[in-house]
Amino acid sequence: MQIVSINDFIRQSFDFLVIGGGTAGLVVASRLAQDGKYTVGVLEAGGTANGREDVQIPGYLAMSLGSEIDWKFQTAPQTGLGGRSVSWPRGKALGGSSAINFMTWMRGAREDYDGWEALGNSGWGWNELLPYFKKSETFHTPSDSIRDEEDLRYDPEAFGDSGPIHISYAKEYSPSNRHWFKALNSLGVPTNSAHFAGSNVGAWTNVNNIDPRTMTRSFATNYCSLAGSNLHILTDATVQEVILDNIDNECVASGVRFTYKGEEHVALASREVILSAGSIKSPQILELSGIGNPEILSRAGIAVKVDSPMVGENLQDHNAVHIIAEVDPELENRDDLFFDANYAAEAREQYRRDQTGPLASIPSSYTFVPLASFMSQDTLERLHSQAQALTGFSPAKKTLMEQRLRHADRFGYAEYIFRLGAAPMAVTGKKFGTLFQILQYPFAVGSIHIQPPAAEGDDPVIDPRHYHGPRGEIDLEVMMESTRFARDILLAPAFSSVVKQIFHPPASSYANDEYMKKWITDSTAVAFHPVGTCAMGGHEGIRGGVVDERLKVYGVKKLRVVDASIMPLQISAHIQATVYAIAEKASSMILEDVAQN
Read off the pLDDT of residues 462-497 as tens digits, 9 standing for 90 and up.
Answer: 999 999 999 999 999 999 999 999 999 999 999 999
Measured distance CA(75)–CA(92) in Å, rounded:
17
Active site annotation includes 179: no
**Residue 78 pLDDT more than 90?**
yes
**Residue 404 pLDDT more than 80?**
yes
Predicted TM-score (pTM) of this structure:
0.97
Binding residues, as ranges, are 239
Q: What is the mean pLDDT of the chain?
A: 94
Q: Could you tell me if residue 228 is inside a domain?
A: no
Give the range among 122-131, 288-297, 417-426 with minimum mean pLDDT.
417-426
**Residue 583 pLDDT more than 90?**
yes
Catalytic one of 179, 318, 466, 574? 574
Give the range among 82-91, 146-155, 296-305, 316-325 with minimum mean pLDDT.
146-155
The beta strand positions in 221-262, using DSSP E, are 231-234, 237-247, 250-260
Contact 412, 368 (CB under 8 A): yes
Report, as an integer, the average pLDDT of 126-133: 98
Q: Could you tell me if residue 363 is inside a domain?
A: yes
For the stretch 167-176, pLDDT in tens is 999 999 988 9
Q: Could you tell me if residue 334 is inside a domain?
A: yes
Q: Could you tell me if residue 411 is inside a domain?
A: yes
Catalytic one of 166, 384, 529, 539? 529
Q: What pLDDT score was predicted for residue 424? A: 62
Binding residues for FAD, as ranges, are 239
Measured distance CA(579)–CA(263) in Å, rounded:
32
pLDDT band with cut points at 50, 70 and 90 for residue 335: confident
Active site annotation includes 574: yes
Contact 527, 317 (CB under 8 A): yes
**Residue 453 pLDDT more than 80?**
no
Q: What pLDDT score was predicted for residue 457? A: 62
**Residue 104 pLDDT more than 70?**
yes
pLDDT band with cut points at 50, 70 and 90 for residue 74: very high
Q: Could you tell me if residue 373 is inside a domain?
A: yes
Burial level of 157, CB count in 10 A (0-12/13-18/19+)? exposed
Give the range among 193-202, 278-287, 544-553, 568-577 with minimum mean pLDDT.
193-202
The domain in which residue 394 lies consists of: 319-441+467-523
**Residue 440 pLDDT more than 70?**
yes
**Residue 290 pLDDT more than 80?**
yes
| Cα-based angle 152, 156, 157 (whole degrees, multiple of 5) | 155
pLDDT band with cut points at 50, 70 and 90 for residue 426: low
**Residue 154 pLDDT more than 70?**
yes
Number of domains in the chain: 1
Measured distance CA(187)–CA(190) in Å, rounded:
9
**Residue 455 pLDDT more than 60?**
no
Burial level of 228, CB count in 10 A (0-12/13-18/19+)? exposed
List the CATH number of the domain containing 357: 3.30.560.10
Q: Could you tell me if residue 344 is inside a domain?
A: yes
Percent of the chain residues topping a pLDDT of 70: 98
Q: Could you tell me if residue 199 is inside a domain?
A: no
**Residue 100 pLDDT more than 80?**
yes
Q: What pLDDT score was predicted for residue 429? A: 78
Q: Could you tell me if residue 103 is inside a domain?
A: no
Nearest residue to 30 (alpha-carbon basis) of 593, 587, 590? 587
